[in-house]
Amino acid sequence: MEELHRIVKARLGHDILFGYPHALRVMENAEHIAERVEVNKNIVRIASLLHDIAFDGKNVVSHAEESAIAADKILKELGIPSDKRIAIMNTIRKHDFRVWEREGEPKTNEEKVVSDAENIERCSPQGLVKFIIIASKLPTYKDSGDIIRAASKFINKAYASLFFEVSKERAKESFEASKGFLEMLVHNVS
């Protein structure tokens, strides 16, 4: 596990929203949920730590699939057996709800836990700021109003996509803070 932390730090860097600190927060969320749900904790721990390993700030739509492939390569080099690697790959791929439209929703508890762990972060203030930073660099949105509306949709979808009660409890306070912030923002600029 120590070696994996070292690899994630080296690849993702120390940015508080995009780097290793994000991977760590998602892992902590996953571990918290895994205390109350029946899962293979080892798979959850590894998949959550590596869930965004190939994210570069631009590959928003494909980052889950790319991270699954990159994680598999890392784990193969560390001698992790293929059955475990497959479970970890599937868990990483399904952590992003954009993948669900093509491949269906998470099925295993491991997949659901890591998806929840990411969505708890997504609907929090740090997730909201992250969305705005990423969106402001994409050609998809025509102006600030467009980004604010998309951000609101995104955090609501993240919260609505949570599978477990324990995840909703953990997300609730920071989701309410993000929602309140967006409501005030919309109110003040419209």
- Contact set with Fe ion (CB under 5 A): 52, 118
For the CA atoms of 15, 18, 24, 29, the dihedral, rounded to the nearest 10 degrees, stands at 140
- Toward Fe ion, which CB reaches closer, 85 or 93? 93
- Toward Fe ion, which CB reaches closer, 115 or 152? 115
* Least distance CB 153 / Fe ion (angstroms): 17
Query: Does residue 51 sit in helix, strand or coil?
Result: coil
- Whether the CB-CB separation of 88 and 113 falls below 8 Å is answered with no
Residue nearest Fe ion by beta-carbon distance: 52
- Alpha-carbon distance of 93 to 96, in angstroms, equals 7
Tokens at residue 161, please?
């996509």
Tokens at residue 187, please?
């109110």
* Least distance CB 95 / Fe ion (angstroms): 6
Half-sphere exposure in the Cβ direction for 59 (13 Å, CA): 11
* Least distance CB 64 / Fe ion (angstroms): 6
Largest CA distance in the chain: 56
- Toward Fe ion, which CB reaches closer, 111 or 118? 118
Helix (H) or strand (E) holding 164: none
Tokens at residue 55, please?
């994210």
Residues making up the chain, counted from first to last: 190
* Least distance CB 81 / Fe ion (angstroms): 25
- Toward Fe ion, which CB reaches closer, 52 or 65? 52
* Least distance CB 184 / Fe ion (angstroms): 26
- Toward Fe ion, which CB reaches closer, 52 or 110? 52
